[in-house]
């Protein structure tokens, strides 16, 4: 299983690779402002960290790891909100790079949140099973 996951990480899908290109540089005629690129790195790293945590969850099945994944999800939501607000502030200031990449910037943020949600979906069955076991133990 670990080898399969490592293969998936080593060869991201076209869309993920495209998003990373936008996060770390330019693609075609559109490039992020320096501030925009910088603020996208933290959510991106959060998703990568969660993916590694999900790998650990598949191996260990530890409820603490599952709970941390859900905490990661909330943390990413806060990062996404802050990055979006900062981006909108740059748009209000009329920064040309931010205006040119606005749609793309918001799409990358949205897609990182979506990827994170899919990663976190691994945690719910384990936590539900753990809660059911706790309920059974309390009844006994």
State the CATH class of domain 2-9+36-133. Answer: mainly alpha
φ and ψ of 116, to 5 deg: -60, -40
Q: What's the pTM value of the predicted model, to 2 decimals?
A: 0.73
Q: Which pLDDT value is given to residue 136? A: 61
Residue 54: pLDDT over 70: yes
Residue 17: pLDDT over 60: no
Residue 4: pLDDT over 50: no
96 vs 115: which has the higher pLDDT: 115
What tokens appear for 44 in the block?
């991106």
25 vs 101: which has the higher pLDDT: 101
89 vs 21: which has the higher pLDDT: 89
């Amino acid at each position: 299983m670990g080898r399969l996951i490592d293969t998936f990480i080593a060869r991201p899908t076209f869309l993920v690779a495209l998003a990373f290109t936008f996060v770390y540089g330019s693609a075609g005629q559109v490039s992020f402002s320096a501030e925009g690129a910088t603020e996208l790195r933290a959510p991106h790293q959060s998703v990568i960290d969660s993916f590694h945590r999900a790998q650990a969850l598949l191996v260990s099945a530890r409820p603490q790891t599952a709970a941390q994944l859900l905490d990661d999800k909330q943390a990413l939501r806060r990062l996404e909100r802050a990055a979006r607000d900062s981006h909108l502030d740059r748009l209000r200031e009329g920064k040309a790079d931010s205006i040119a990449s606005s749609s793309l910037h918001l799409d990358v943020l949205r897609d990182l949140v979506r990827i994170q949600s899919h990663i976190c979906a691994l945690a719910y069955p384990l936590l539900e099973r753990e809660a059911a076991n706790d309920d059974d133990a309390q009844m006994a």
